[in-house]
Amino acid sequence: MISMMLKDELHSIEELLCARETAITFIGEEPVFQSKSEQLFEAWKMTAFSEISDQSLRRYFYYQLEGILKLSDTLFSMSGIDIPGKQLRPLLPLLDHLKRYFPNYFNQDAIAPIAFHQRSVEQWRADVQSLKSKIKEAEISAEIKKSACKWVEELAMINYTRRYTFREIAYSKYIIEQMLLIDISSDNAEDNLISFLSSANFNHLAFLVYRQNKIHQELKSFVSLEDKINYLATRKAIVSASPEVENLAYNISWPSIKTMFGEWLKEEILLLENCSNKHLQLAVPRLPLELSVAHLSCLIRLLYEESVFATQNLQSIFKCFASYFQSKRQAVISPGSLSKEFYSIDQHTAARVRDLLQRMIQRINR
């Protein structure tokens, strides 16, 4: 029954459109077309208020949309890409009516006609220009500034090799509108932008690469593999705890940005853990010292205060000594125990170290 209703309702419009290859531009304005459209709208209304089940209504309107999209593709093939978009738009009022009055039965994942996408791009063109200007003046890194401008340009382009769904077109509009509202003049502008794009599941591959590069840059501030692994694990925990958005994406056919970024962090952690295991297997035994932890910490402090070390990072110094030396009574020294003794040197410890240094001076003098 639904198939018969569809055929009866769209057949006359299909004949009217496809029979006039030379007058496509004006068909949408003809009284006959307007009359046929009104009849179609009335038929949809009567069907929506009938006693048909919700499931059947969904199938009915999905089928109606499919028929309209087929007609639109026919018009597109008749007109060609080089014909101005307005010549492909006689069916847009039908799509608008479906979206406006029957949103619960509109298939957002259907492929939208080129003409629908063209009109959408024209509608947000001014917003795109404003957003690009705003990004160029923002207090953000040059990398994300360049990338963000490129992403926005892509959202405002008609790509004839890739057709967009209604949901993806609506998503592009949402991203542009929301980015205009972000305060990107503050000190946290870049973090605000990343946070929004992540929460909005902007699963553009270039955005994923940007986030990966940012993590690689941040890892350079850590010396040990353990610190790098801990940092990546913290980032992964934050990503895992973020809510998963549904039916919202730059490209609905790709995994979410949460999934892609989370899996990448997982792989990076595994790579570093493998490096750590190999490092432990090849590591030389700790060098034993005839010094207590307290005496060693006192020596470290003297060397540190005399600027013998080329770094001012005490944690790195403690970890280095803990990794390569063992004390008189402890085979394994923790960085924490060195740090504790470093800041609490008593007179007895200082005297023992002074005696050691004096003996060294005597040897030098001889």
pLDDT digits (tens, 9 = 90+) for 59-115: 999 999 998 888 887 777 766 544 445 555 678 889 999 999 999 999 999 999 888
Q: Say what the pTM is.
A: 0.67
In one-letter notation, the amino acid at residue 209 is V
pLDDT reported for residue 84: 43
Question: Which range has highest mean pLDDT (10-19, 24-33, 250-259)?
Answer: 250-259
Q: Using one digit for the tens of pLDDT, what is the confidence trace for 159-215?
A: 777 788 999 999 999 999 999 998 877 888 899 999 999 999 999 988 999 999 999
Burial degree of 99 (CB within 10 A; 0-12, 13-18, 19+): middle
Of residues 181, 208, 209, the one with CA closest to residue 196: 181
Of residues 134, 119, 176, 168, the one with CA closest to residue 152: 176
pLDDT reported for residue 276: 67
Q: Using one digit for the tens of pLDDT, what is the confidence trace for 250-299?
A: 888 889 999 999 999 999 999 888 876 665 555 567 889 989 999 999 99
pLDDT reported for residue 366: 78
Instruction: Give 360's contacts (C-beta < 8 A, 6+ positions apart).
Output: none
pLDDT over 90 at 231, yes or no: yes
Give the number of other CB atoms < 10 A from CB of residue 33: 19
Rounded CA gap, 351 and 357, in Å?
10
**Residue the block writes with tokens 């501030």:** 221
Rounded CA gap, 342 and 296, in Å?
9
Of residues 121, 78, 81, 120, the one with CA closest to residue 99: 120
pLDDT reported for residue 169: 92
Instruction: Give 218's contacts (C-beta < 8 A, 6+ positions apart).
Output: 231
Main-chain dihedrals φ then ψ at residue 333, nearest 5 degrees = -105, 135
Q: Which residues, listed in sequence order, are joined to residue 111 by a DSSP beta bridge?
A: 165
The CA distances from residue 119 to 1, 23, 162, in Å, are 34, 20, 17
pLDDT over 50 at 7, yes or no: no
pLDDT reported for residue 334: 86
DSSP code for 311: -
Cα-Cα-Cα-Cα torsion 185, 188, 189, 193, nearest 10 degrees, comes to -160
Instruction: Give 47's contacts (C-beta < 8 A, 6+ positions apart).
Output: 5, 57, 60
In one-letter notation, the amino acid at residue 233 is A
